[in-house]
Amino acid sequence: MKVRVLGILSLLVVIIVVTVSSVILTSASRELTQELQINRVAALNRFAQLASDAAEDNDTTQLQREMDRYSELYGEGILIRLQGRIIHSGGLSEDHPDVGNALNRASLNLSDTTLNPVRAFGTGGDTISRSFGTASQVLGEVVMEVNLDAARQKLRERWIAVVLAAVALGALLLLAAARITAWVLRPVHRLSRAVHELETTGKTGQLPEAGPPELRELSRSFTAMAGTVTDSMESQRRLIADTSHQLRNPVGALRLRIDLLQLELKSEPEKAAAAGVVAELERVEEMLDGVLKLATAEHRAFEGAARADQAEHQRHAVIDPFPILQGEVERAAPAARNAGSQLSLEGPAPGNQIACDPDELAHMVGELLTNAIKYAPGAHITVATLQTQGGTAVVISDDGPGLPAEQLAASTSRFWRAPQHSKIPGNGLGMTIVERLAQANRGRLVLEPHKPHGLTARLEFAKPEEDMHA
């Protein structure tokens, strides 16, 4: 944004500087032309008077002397046609096309005393002419050569001065534009970062009130709004966590009462009904446990995003994931055997290290293994680590039925369950928890089909050195 604004301002500065410079240089050219014209017309009139006097006296000696002196002083030629005679000085002759045209106009009593505008990088000279005589008779014509080199040199000097002044003015205006742009856009950049921080972490710091009055008011309004949003989100998280935690006590008391009630039941239908109530209680307990885990995972994800955004967080420990994977595979082995599944762990690969909290990695791998055993009974489940282009991935894959492509995107939504798995116990929070914990450790969860059939879950982590310097 700053580049675009500075580009527009720079274009305006260039237009202003060029326009002002052009006006100044045009005025300078006009001024030098008028000054030169006034001086040369005065000289032209003087020689016309001298020629008129010489015609009356019939003596051109004094006239020739004055003409020679003028040509020697100014380097400009003069040609006078007087009663059929040609008197000239400075090498000016009537063979010159301009001189011939000037003589013809003057013979018709048409004076031409206007000079063409002086150009800084032009060449050649100019001529002026007039006739002299009485009111009823033209006695002769005077043609004067005008050397424009001195005027051009003055104009070039002014050009250099104007160009230098224009460059200095342009640099000053560009510097002022850059300062003003930075002053105006600095609050906008802060606001943009604050919006990103609020989006990723759910909270943001107070924006400093700087810049134009409108942006200061916007900063105050955003800070107030962000505080309200942060408080609201935090209250919602606490409400969910506190409610889930507080519900454990009445649910536990209810389980105890049902257990005591079961001791008093005699008939099989009564015992079956009590068993159904216990199953529902277990489902509620599982749901509450999942909600608590999700609240914790989301809190960790928000904290991780805030730390990553502020670049002031304590770095995650760099660990070898293989021992953790080995422990989770051993822990899940009995459940896999009961489901008829085969668990295999590929050997450790050298150099496969990740920056992750060990307990949270164990939690994520445990959830993914539980899902694979639960929803792909009898499948072959493989756990491995592999190098990726950006770091290291922990991969859990199975050759079970998998999920259709349209269901993969929804599989990390809260409480989402595939329709074909509706009869399998679960709360639909496992994948959501794994995704949030991966975000908390600056990784990501990727779900994709396993060929020829099945599901692959990848926990991708950046290289530890990239994480350290992110």
Residues 238 and 277 in one domain: yes
pLDDT along the chain (470 residues), means of 10: 75 87 90 91 91 85 90 89 84 82 82 87 86 78 89 90 90 85 75 71 66 73 74 71 70 79 80 80 73 68 54 61 90 90 82 83 90 88 86 89 83 80 78 85 87 88 60
Structure confidence at residue 164 (pLDDT): 92
Q: Which domain holds residue 284?
A: 213-310
To which residue do tokens 């104007």 refer? Answer: 162
**pTM for this predicted structure:** 0.49
Residues 118 and 96 in one domain: yes
Q: What is the dihedral of CA 2, 5, 7, 12, to 10 degrees?
A: -150
Residues 304 and 354 in one domain: no
Residues 368 and 237 in one domain: no
Structure confidence at residue 138 (pLDDT): 79
Structure confidence at residue 429 (pLDDT): 81
Question: Quick check: is 167 in a domain?
Answer: no
d(CA 272, CA 202): 47
Question: Quick check: is 194 in a domain?
Answer: no
Structure confidence at residue 204 (pLDDT): 66
Which of 251, 284, 310 finishes a domain?
Answer: 310
To which residue do tokens 């660990």 refer? Answer: 319
How many domains are contained in the chain? 3
Count CA atoms within 13 Å of residue 189 on its CB side. Answer: 8
Residues 30 and 120 in one domain: yes
Residues 349 and 456 in one domain: yes
Structure confidence at residue 11 (pLDDT): 85
> Distance from first CA to last CA of the chain, Å, rounded?
24
Contact 144, 129 (CB under 8 A): yes
Structure confidence at residue 380 (pLDDT): 92
Residues 443 and 400 in one domain: yes
Which of 261, 292, 310 finishes a domain?
Answer: 310
Residues 81 and 18 in one domain: yes
| Token pair of 86 as six digits | 């040609």
The DSSP secondary-structure symbol of 418 reads -
Residues 324 and 397 in one domain: yes
d(CA 216, CA 209): 5
Contact 342, 381 (CB under 8 A): yes
Structure confidence at residue 310 (pLDDT): 45
CATH number for position 52 = 3.30.450.20
Question: Quick check: is 113 in a domain?
Answer: yes
401-441 pLDDT per residue, tens: 888 888 888 888 877 788 887 778 777 788 888 888 888 88
Helix (H) or strand (E) holding 227: helix 213-264
Residues 288 and 365 in one domain: no
Question: Quick check: is 196 in a domain?
Answer: no
Structure confidence at residue 410 (pLDDT): 83
CATH number for position 463 = 3.30.565.10
Which of 119, 154, 189 finishes a domain?
Answer: 154
**Dihedral (CA of 23, 25, 30, 35) sign:** positive
Question: Quick check: is 463 in a domain?
Answer: yes
Question: Quick check: is 174 in a domain?
Answer: no
d(CA 20, CA 173): 13
The DSSP secondary-structure symbol of 450 reads P
CATH number for position 242 = 1.10.287.130
Question: Quick check: is 6 in a domain?
Answer: yes
Question: Quick check: is 182 in a domain?
Answer: no
Contact 470, 383 (CB under 8 A): no
Residues 302 and 326 in one domain: no
The DSSP secondary-structure symbol of 112 reads B
Structure confidence at residue 466 (pLDDT): 46
Residues 294 and 322 in one domain: no
